[in-house]
Structure 1
Amino acid sequence: MALATDGLARRTGADLRDRLRRVRMNVLLALQTGIAAGLAWLIAHELIGHSAPFFAPIAAVITLAVSVGQRLRRAFELVFGVAIGIAVGDLLIYLIGTGPWQVGLVVTLAIVTAIFVGGGSALVTQAASSAVLVATLTPPTITGISYDRFVDALVGGLVGLGVMALLLPLNPLTVVGRAAGPALDVLGEGLTATAEALASRDTDRAEAALARLRAAEGDLRTLQEAIEAASETTALAPVRWRARGALNQYVDAAEHVARALRNSRVLVRRALTLLRDGEPLPAELVEAVEALGEAVGWLRRELADAVEPVAARERALRAASEAGVAYAAGVGFSGSVIVAQVRSTAVDLVRASGVNGSDANRLVRRAVGRHVPPSPRG
């Protein structure tokens, strides 16, 4: 009974900590959205003079509530979708009146119009919902069609973007660093665990490392979304323009980190085969894989510190050099594949450190070839 109570207490505490962490991560978004809704209503009501500008705060909330990184596009789709829905709704309801079949016709034509102009799902949805509101809550009166709703939507979308850019803009490096950490941790820890598995000839440990690396695709998607969000913020928020240089390092590194992750999965699969087949395993091959894990760890730290990843580059080249020593010492088929994958992953990490493709290949080729005897002539 006591053990069950202790387990429940631990799970409850962990759940509470997770909820608090999510609140801390999203509290700025909540503040942005609340401020934008209030400002949009204030501007539309007090400055423009609309008596019930409900479209303005709705538009502000929708603009900010979508995934960060899509707000500029979503604000355009929002305003354009509202314009289509209001135009179709106002015109048809003014001509044919209100009723169930009129509502259905208005929504159908609003969707068809949105699709015809090339809108995505967000624009189509917004056009349909705006048409519903026009047809049911605020149909046009006998005095004619009003443009107030479109103006309110425009005000809300612009206020949402303004709050994001000028008031409480997200720190782009914090957003990206928070997303890059898990992806780089999985890669570095997976390589380190593989080196330890090779050293101890532990297939179970190698299989666990492979499972972790296979599950990391979600972390890569999160990183890419974070980069898009940060790029949007640095484009719109003047106070974040200074972060562009450091952000570009993440942008340049992300593609090569993804390639390194996929090459590492091949490496670990071949390490499993080597262990099961009992092939020769030079100590330098273990050191090469371990050096790759160290390179990833240094890459994370140096990107977070916004400095050139020199240490990460050096560790990656050391991994290539050790792989060359292992190849010269003698390896089996799987060992030769691991050497090739170490080389490919080293190229990825050197490129992630800011070196262009031709130079990265030259540096890694030289590091490997330093220890590989030349092929005899025929």
Structure 2
Amino acid sequence: MTAIRLVLKKVSPEQLFMGSVLLVNGGNYIYNLILGRLLGPESFAEAALLVTLLLILSFLGMTFQLATAKFAVIFSGEEWSNFRNLMYRLAIIFGLVTGVLMIFFSKDLQSFFNTDNAAMFIIFGIGIPLYFFMSVNRGTFQGNQDFRKLSLTYQTEMWSRLLLTLGLLLFVPWQPAFIVALGIALSFLFGLIPSNFKVISFTKITALQPKNAKRVSNFILLTACYEFTQIIINNSDVLLVKHYFNELDAGLYASLALIGRVVYFVAWMFVMLLLPTVVQKQKDGEPTAPILFKYVGYISLLSVCIVMACYLFPELIISLMFGEAYISMAGLLWQYAFATSLFAISNIFAYYFLSLDHYIPVILSGLLGLSQIILVVFFHTSLEMVVQVQIIAMVALLVAQLLYFTQNKLI
């Protein structure tokens, strides 16, 4: 125990957070692999739909998290307290509205996605308000660079979801999709650990200073628009495949998407470190581009390694992770990983622009995100075509981000 304490003292909070993120991503992968192996391709399609809805929810939550993180660096004293209370109120209101809408339209969602019943959407909707509350918590920790608490909230959410879902699947004879939805909803409750409820006041309503209120509203609107484009780019393919293809193909594609997105999930770790650092350096009048180049370099190197591994050993990777039932996706694995790698790199640029309050990249991402949907809607005669049109859209997105960066000479 003494040796462990000495090692932990030498580990910086940033290093601890990076290690924690890798562990969380690993746990989430194990969670999905267990679902894939236990349920088989057809049933896994519904579980993967819920995981995709969770990813969409995480993008929406990032609006609250990033806004809280940014202004935790900028505001202080009473203005920070007023802003934090405002974010908690907005998060709860938005969460309740979103949850109620999902419950109300649960039958329509069942019909559109061809699921067995609507209960999975109802359970998921009940947990949504907790997720947005948790997102403001995380934004506070991120902005204050309290990476220990930030790491803990991700760990409690991930481990509770993994253990609860596995336990229920093994010992409770309920429908698998219902169990997965229940495990996800309960994990949001555990994700509230740690929380400091004493600093939150819902009765005290104090307005921000006018100039700060305008700055906050502009950033929230900008971030919400970008996160919406993230939802489109990162999740529309899985949702459209679930709509256009049969259960077997949808399950096979979901396994492909899960493996290919590993680059994006690791890139997310650098986004968490990037935003508060860039905002602080801009505030101090220091160059910000070196931080961008460092993280783009990391993700590019990781992308090359993953795409090459997927190209050289696709059958081995798929059989080890999901089993022989999914092996027909081997030929597409490197292509999907390539598309995701392009998105991950462009995503680092996009969050860098968001940190500096640049609006045009959000518009570019939105247009290219919509183009991806349009391409898949018109070109989906095979799963191969679905992947290849995404590569086209992601190449265009990254080129657009690079052109904007070079033309504006951002430092």
Tell me which of the two structures has the higher relative contact order, counting C-alpha pairs closer than 8 angstroms and 6 or more residues apart.
2
TM-score, normalised to structure 1's length? Answer: 0.27
More helix by share: 2
Which of structures 1 and 2 has the bigger CA Rg? 1
TM-score norm. by structure 2 comes to 0.25
